[in-house]
Structure 1
């Protein structure tokens, strides 16, 4: 495939989709962008982006608005929420093949779902669905009708820090260290992932065709994050130690109770902090360097996250 020009995005108004759209707009001289959105979407797409509104993303008939919207597109990028992606992406790929799209990029911006430890946790839950879809997409590409590129990014570190997903309550200066915070992991800011998606389409085709590519902005451990948080705030934080094994057990309990979302969140935390390698994507630290892809330091990411949380609390004082 020669360098693609025409890029279509599904899910372009969400957490990742919005910065991905902006990243492509900064490359208007290289890419033409089309945003495909459902008519039922409650998120308004940017007025300055070419947008096609369709009634359904699972109608793959030849005359469907989705297939028609994909005609003459080179690449279809999904930035859908993961739970939605595993349901809709198989149909999106069918539509892309119908329309003659040559490359599909799935919404797999997370831990490596094909890692052995992730596969073991995937029985009857979202992880298992993601594993099955990753395997199936590889099989579809092997049939020759379309190619794929999957960017495996680890955690969204800035979003996770601000939302408490990484075990750090920035507002109350409290931290949970999993297995004493000793294990290394890698992660990215949302902005870095957006820029990495664009960068992947600037690389030679043989470096990205039918490949799962590790992407990492920084490497960190829970203990390193705690030390920087305390340095930035100038305070000693309240720290709790939790074993990864107990997190896994909690996930299994929630799954047995039918709380699949809760189970998934616990499994994701365990994979991030157990040192198994599913989120320690060291080779990704070199991704995009030849293209000048800029990385923030861990300290910079944490400073910005703490600053954003502090500003939010200042604007919306707690009633506690």
Structure 2
């Protein structure tokens, strides 16, 4: 049994992914939390939490110095944010974070996964960011293997954040469903099955993965509060609002082809739409986690959450906006 994890550093704590993770980490009394931030960042963090600032280049040497003394590093920075070499390391910040963790003697590393199974060839073929995340996880696994137990890893795959996707202030109506305006875009049949984990339960799962470090060592942790479809989401919204939604149905094939061409030509902003559409269209990006993977919610003691719970919160939010 390895020593308990106490000192935890989180990178990307102010973002939509990082904020719920930071909240859960801060609520675990056994952890000492440190935040990694760019020196030029204007992000605000909770009082009393140490913040280590580095240059916008995030060089391996700077990161190594910051990581010293940390038992675990949790990454919540988008994988495609930095893709160029800075100091000769394998291209991209995601790789440099791993290199720095190895150099600093970090024991547990949680990469920026938080979606589908990024080792699966199906999503990697369709969406470039999944392929990039897969490369990062493979690199991390190899570095951990080379370390002979000094570095370990845990990856968290949680499907879709429906609570985030139905909150326009946080996601810009990521899934194409506007609760307040009572309208939705449904791609293809609307019957694609997608695992859903709330952002709060994802953050809690990260904290629990570290408090149960032996259980989650060198494991892919798959989460699903429930599995649903776009049609079921809209039906639940119509039921709880007692109103009919205006539905626009679209074919995903030409749109995905166009978005992929844009991405390949250098328009990295197309990534957001690629992720959004593939999460709900009739394409196989391995999002039916309950069908294909062992689900860890019960092992990690996560609260049970239903589709009706998430829809109820979304409806209340829309009424108050």
TM-score range, shorter chain: 0.7 to 0.9
**Whole-angstrom CA distance in 2 between matches of 1:175 and 1:51:** 41
1:83 corresponding residue in structure 2: 80
Determine if the alignment matches structure 1 residue 149 to structure 2 residue 154: yes
Question: Could you tell me the TM-score, scaled by structure 2's length?
Answer: 0.86
- Contact 1:176–1:242 at 8 Å: present in 2 too? yes
- Contact 2:65–2:104 at 8 Å: present in 1 too? yes
Greater Cα offset, 102-111 or 209-218: 209-218
The alpha-carbon distance between structure 1 residues 57 and 191, as it changes in their structure 2 partners (threshold 3 A), is farther
**Whole-angstrom CA distance in 2 between matches of 1:302 and 1:93:** 38
2:10 corresponding residue in structure 1: 9
Q: Between Structure 1 and Structure 2, how many residues are aligned?
A: 305
Query: Per the alignment, in what secondary structure is the counterpart of residue 43 of structure 2?
Result: coil
Shift of 1:193: 0.8
Return 5+ residue gaps in structure 2 as ranges. Answer: 84-91
- Contact 1:216–1:284 at 8 Å: present in 2 too? no
The alpha-carbon distance between structure 1 residues 255 and 26, as it changes in their structure 2 partners (threshold 3 A), is closer
**Whole-angstrom CA distance in 1 between matches of 2:200 and 2:82:** 20
Shift of 1:84: 2.2
Greater Cα offset, 281-290 or 133-142: 281-290
Greater Cα offset, 303-312 or 97-106: 303-312
1:179-208 CA distance string (max 9 Å, x none): 221121112221111111011112251x32
The alpha-carbon distance between structure 1 residues 111 and 67, as it changes in their structure 2 partners (threshold 3 A), is same
1:18-45 CA distance string (max 9 Å, x none): 22222122111x2111112121112022
- Contact 1:215–1:284 at 8 Å: present in 2 too? no
**Whole-angstrom CA distance in 2 between matches of 1:85 and 1:285:** 32
- Contact 1:104–1:149 at 8 Å: present in 2 too? yes
The alpha-carbon distance between structure 1 residues 292 and 132, as it changes in their structure 2 partners (threshold 3 A), is closer
1:250 to 258, 261, 267: 258
- Contact 1:218–1:285 at 8 Å: present in 2 too? no
Shift of 1:99: 1.3
**Whole-angstrom CA distance in 1 between matches of 2:250 and 2:34:** 45
Greater Cα offset, 4-13 or 141-150: 141-150
- Contact 2:13–2:19 at 8 Å: present in 1 too? yes
Query: Per the alignment, in what secondary structure is the counterpart of residue 119 of structure 2?
Result: coil
- Contact 1:217–1:285 at 8 Å: present in 2 too? no
Shift of 1:299: 1.1
**Whole-angstrom CA distance in 1 between matches of 2:48 and 2:26:** 9
2:59 corresponding residue in structure 1: 59
Determine if the alignment matches structure 1 residue 211 to structure 2 residue 210: no
- Contact 1:104–1:148 at 8 Å: present in 2 too? yes
Shift of 1:255: 3.2
**Whole-angstrom CA distance in 2 between matches of 1:137 and 1:285:** 22
**Whole-angstrom CA distance in 2 between matches of 1:238 and 1:142:** 52
